[in-house]
Structure 1
Amino acid sequence: MQEPAGNTGAPTRRERDALGMRAVPAEVYWGVQTLRAVENFQVSGVREPAALVRAYLVLKKAAAYANMALGEIDAELGWAIVKAADEGLEGRFDDQFVVDVFQAGAGTSFHMNVNEVLANRALELLGREKGDYDYLSPNDHVGRCQSTHDTFPTASHLAIITEADRLLAVLDSLARAFSRKGEEFADVQKSGRTHLTDALPLTLGAEFVAYATALRRAAWRVKERREDLREVAIGGTANGTGANAHPEFRETVLADLNRFTGLGLIPATDSFEALQSRAAMAAFSGALRELALELIRIANDLRLLGSGPTSGLAEITFPAVQSGSSTMNGKVNPVMAECLDMVGFQVVGNDTAVALAAQAGQVDLNVMTPVMTANILASLSLLTSFLPLFEEKCVAGIGANRGQARALLMKNPALASLLSPQIGHLRAANLAGEARRRGVAVPALAVEKGYLTEKEAAELFDMERMARGLYARYPWTHQEREDEG
């Protein structure tokens, strides 16, 4: 983080804001208000995510187009701002957005950081000196018809929607990977488990198809909450009043913003509510939390199914992506599932911060939007970065330990439940208890007791037939759909 200008002996320029004159490093594009924010908020060392920077630059570009079309700013100034924004979108000024994510309420510090960078680059393009704000001002020209109150939530929505689309593509791929495993394991009969105890049989494929279904449902909830964010606050300016904005600015800037992004953004139904409430952002974060909880559950299932190899369930095997221990030779741990747990925990924690910030809005403005935006974008980044690795390095390489699954299934006392229609619930329960105590397989014990002939036992406990019966209800392979025809 740079020291305040004037302490290093480097060249400076003088800039004035409402609090007075300050020396700003001559080479930087940000200005005096950014300087004060850098001095005041040396908090985390984490700067605003690139997604928010890009969203703000696109918004400023659209605003410049709108202001030129409405006669609010001169075309020479407007095109310089547009050119500066385009350069920013190419990454030219990434190192100039220096405000900490923990900053002044509402995001004024970062908003002014963006305004000053664009203003000073536009001045350069016009052959002027940085800081010549009488000619082109961060507030009067770059920020024309705008306020932090409406631009920060609008840019936040834009950034979240864009990153959500990336996550949805990742989730679709991961769900497909689980479905493929479901097909691969469709014939692997195994014990079901409820309450972590043996239950009626099913197939490993059924479990993996269910994971795919859970991910698709979670993705649907993310998509639904993403749609709510298309309603944006731009045009509301200060606390929703629309003060100092051209009457046609909202409509015009949204048209340009949609032209640049293709996102179909719409104006807020109620400008005052759009600044008071962050419910839509909180709901989207909640959808990420729900997704994280499903991912944690699935990761923990996989870790349990792969436990062993000699003292656990050991029904699946994981690809060996790295040594599992610095001490125990040959140990292979479910490291990718463990990492997924940790990612999920962080997403849940991020959502807690978002929820607290959502309820902290007071009267006509929620000033906690910056921390909400930072946490939501952090969650999206974590999930979008790690889930493809989890798919590649874990799910794609999971194998079925068919012999182990079959052996455990044949010892399962819950198989006695299949006899209930013939011998009654109580006799079946007693049979299960005896099978467990004696270590005898239920089919063999049923024959011994005279409940079934060997032929009847073979038919009743035909696990392959049972699996076909289950999957007739869930035809998830193309061939099965054609067969049902």
Structure 2
Amino acid sequence: MTTATRQEHDLLGYRDVPADAYYGIQTLRAFENFTVSGVRLNQFSTFIRAFATVKKAAAIANNKVGVLNDTVKDAIAAACDDLIDNKYHDQFIVDMFQGGAGTSTNMNANEVIANRALEILGYEKGDYQHVHPNNDVNLSQSTNDAYPTAMNVALDDYCVRLLDKMAILHTSLKKKSVELADQLKMGRTHLQDAVPMTAGQEFNAFATMIKKEMDRIESTRALFHEINMGGTAIGTGLNAPAGYSEEVAKSLSELTGRPYYIAEDLIEATQDTSAYVALSGNLRLFAARLSKIAHDLRLQSSGPRAGLAQYRLPEMQPGSSIMPGKVNPVIPEVVNQACFHVMGIDHTIAMASENGQLQLNVFEPVIAFNLFTGMSMLANICEMFATRCIDGLMMNNEACSVEVFNNIGLVTALNPHLGYDASSFVARRAQETGGSVYDIVLEEKLMDKETLDDILSPANMVYPKVRALL
């Protein structure tokens, strides 16, 4: 069966493009050249929508400064609106890994928008004399300002989604801290028994960790409001008309509801990727803390009979193909794996940023791919961790109570009253005999029962009184 085609030409010659395709010859060449990851642009709809928003803002700005007529501007804007409405995303066929600093992505967008605009105006696809991918859709632009600006818009969107999902996890942890506010358990340092605490305190600390990382990521968002539109190739503004930069920033702000502004130094901004490194570093911090929480819950839910067994996690699926009845902590395990991946992504992004030479960083595509992927994964696991693990987690109160009141670590609470040497004696006796700290203190007549009961009460151990200075 023969597929109908149309002929297009570029710098390198002529090629047949599928007649019904909205992309054109440059997209086709990139599709053939970059068979790297198998992950195509159309798998990142947020990025496509961001690109369309940037192209629409550029068309409006070009019209305002008098270099693009109303008819072509309106057609381009309508085509961009289609992309913003998630239409024609299947036409973005280029691999996310590509040479050319994102030129293939930019041209894929330019060609799809141009051909859709032509269709809106009643012309055939490829009839570029009426709406041209370069002359009209890419007017006053270069890949080197359009691509990073679209990245910034997309990353702002990814930040919003990630923060929403982090808020779900934060709320889940706070609720669990209230639910378990008075439930005693042993705290541990060096994996050894330390002093008592409540499970509520533990989960409140987890919630605090998440909130701190939310604040860091929120503060990073402001970095993406600085854009280099109008800098064109290297930041000198070649081919961009007077007033265009200010108009495109204004239009982009109006379209998105965000305060975009033009960088003070466009040459610096065109080669700079520090905002991406900063975001990646914050994602790494968040991944490290989230992974620590998952590790803690896996460890403390170990068992059910031969482990710590302080917590019982929701049973999500059978855990073994050979051991009947076994259930594994699969949700924390997958959280750990996703976090490992994000921490690895940070190294890739640092290398890509550091290796950007002279007036342009050509490695922005791998930075974009990794940030988009990492943020999506983190957003997904936040909600999953909350709804499939934290919300249904239960405490093993009986086991925890036995641990607390039979634990040698209780002697720490006696240290201010008995002194270090006497407390060490009690701890050693308890360890050697298997007796309880409580009983040994009374046997040795080191303290009367009323005073001992007050010192070792759960309230005083977990929320200790401040000793008055003499």
Bin for the TM-score computed over the shorter chain: over 0.9
Write out per-residue CA displacement over residues 224-243 of structure 1, whole angstroms, 9 at most, x where no aligned residue: 11211111111111111111
Q: State the secondary structure of the residue aligned to 1:363.
A: coil
Shift of 1:427: 2.1
CA separation in 1, counterparts of 2:330 and 2:238? 55
Runs of 5+ consecutive residues of structure 1 not aligned to the other structure: 1-7, 472-485
Shift of 1:469: 4.3
Match status 1:29 vs 2:31: no
Match of 2:228 in 1: 233
Match status 1:259 vs 2:262: no
Match status 1:294 vs 2:284: no
Query: How many residues get paired?
Result: 464
Which of 326, 335, 346 in structure 2 is aligned with 1:331?
326
Q: Which amino acid aligns with 1:202?
A: M
Match of 2:119 in 1: 124
Equivalent residues in 2 for 1:295-310, closer than 5 Å:
295-310=290-305
Runs of 5+ consecutive residues of structure 2 not aligned to the other structure: none
Q: State the secondary structure of the residue aligned to 1:437.
A: helix
CA separation in 2, counterparts of 1:185 and 1:256? 50
Match of 1:366 in 2: 361
Moved more, 342-351 or 113-122: 342-351
CA separation in 2, counterparts of 1:217 and 1:233? 30
Which of 187, 192, 198 in structure 2 is aligned with 1:203?
198
Match of 2:339 in 1: 344
CA separation in 2, counterparts of 1:264 and 1:429? 62
Match of 1:220 in 2: 215
CA separation in 2, counterparts of 1:381 and 1:144? 32
Match of 1:94 in 2: 89
Match of 2:266 in 1: 271
Q: 1:424–1:466: structure 2 CA closer, same or farther, 3 Å change rule?
A: closer
Q: Which amino acid aligns with 2:436?
A: A
Match of 2:64 in 1: 69
Q: Which amino acid aligns with 1:351?
A: D
Which of 409, 427, 432 in structure 1 is aligned with 2:427?
432
CA separation in 2, counterparts of 1:352 and 1:360? 12
Name the % identity: 41
CA contact (8 A) 1:189 1:464 kept: no
Match of 1:41 in 2: 34
Moved over 6 A (4+): none
Match of 2:11 in 1: 18
Equivalent residues in 2 for 1:309-458, closer than 5 Å:
309-458=304-453
Equivalent residues in 2 for 1:134-173, closer than 5 Å:
134-173=129-168
CA contact (8 A) 2:141 2:240 kept: yes
CA separation in 1, counterparts of 2:112 and 2:285? 38
CA separation in 2, counterparts of 1:233 and 1:297? 38
CA separation in 2, counterparts of 1:436 and 1:195? 18
Q: Which amino acid aligns with 2:405?
A: M
What CA RMSD, in Å, does the superposition of the two structures yield over aligned residues? 1.4
Match of 1:474 in 2: none
Q: Which amino acid aligns with 1:161?
A: D
Moved more, 231-240 or 320-329: 320-329
Match status 1:463 vs 2:458: yes
Q: 1:114–1:470: structure 2 CA closer, same or farther, 3 Å change rule?
A: farther
Match of 2:181 in 1: 186
CA contact (8 A) 1:411 1:439 kept: no
Write out per-residue CA displacement over residues 338-360 of structure 1, whole angstroms, 9 at most, x where no aligned residue: 11111111111222211111111
CA contact (8 A) 2:174 2:203 kept: yes
Task: Give the structure-2-normalised TM-score.
Answer: 0.96
CA separation in 1, counterparts of 2:316 and 2:103? 46
Q: 1:55–1:36: structure 2 CA closer, same or farther, 3 Å change rule?
A: same
CA separation in 2, counterparts of 1:32 and 1:310? 65
Q: 1:222–1:169: structure 2 CA closer, same or farther, 3 Å change rule?
A: same
Write out per-residue CA displacement over residues 414-450 of structure 1, whole angstroms, 9 at most, x where no aligned residue: 2112222222212212221221121111111111111
CA separation in 1, counterparts of 2:421 and 2:100? 66
CA separation in 2, counterparts of 1:274 and 1:426? 64
Match of 1:3 in 2: none
CA contact (8 A) 1:285 1:354 kept: yes
Q: Which amino acid aligns with 1:46?
A: V
CA separation in 2, counterparts of 1:190 and 1:134? 75
Q: Which amino acid aligns with 1:264?
A: P
Shift of 1:44: 1.3
Write out per-residue CA displacement over residues 200-236 of structure 1, whole angstroms, 9 at most, x where no aligned residue: 1111110100000000001111111121111111111
Moved more, 142-151 or 441-450: 441-450
Q: State the secondary structure of the residue aligned to 1:324.
A: coil
CA separation in 2, counterparts of 1:131 and 1:220? 48
Q: State the secondary structure of the residue aligned to 2:102.
A: helix
Match of 2:76 in 1: 81
Match of 2:55 in 1: 60
Shift of 1:464: 3.0
CA separation in 1, counterparts of 2:438 and 2:275? 56
CA separation in 1, counterparts of 2:464 and 2:178? 15
Q: Which amino acid aligns with 2:203?
A: F
Write out per-residue CA displacement over residues 259-313 of structure 1, whole angstroms, 9 at most, x where no aligned residue: 1111111211211111111001110011111100001000000111111111111
CA contact (8 A) 2:45 2:86 kept: no
CA separation in 2, counterparts of 1:23 and 1:266? 41
Moved more, 154-163 or 128-137: 128-137
CA contact (8 A) 1:187 1:467 kept: no
CA separation in 2, counterparts of 1:247 and 1:362? 29
CA separation in 1, counterparts of 2:397 and 2:463? 17
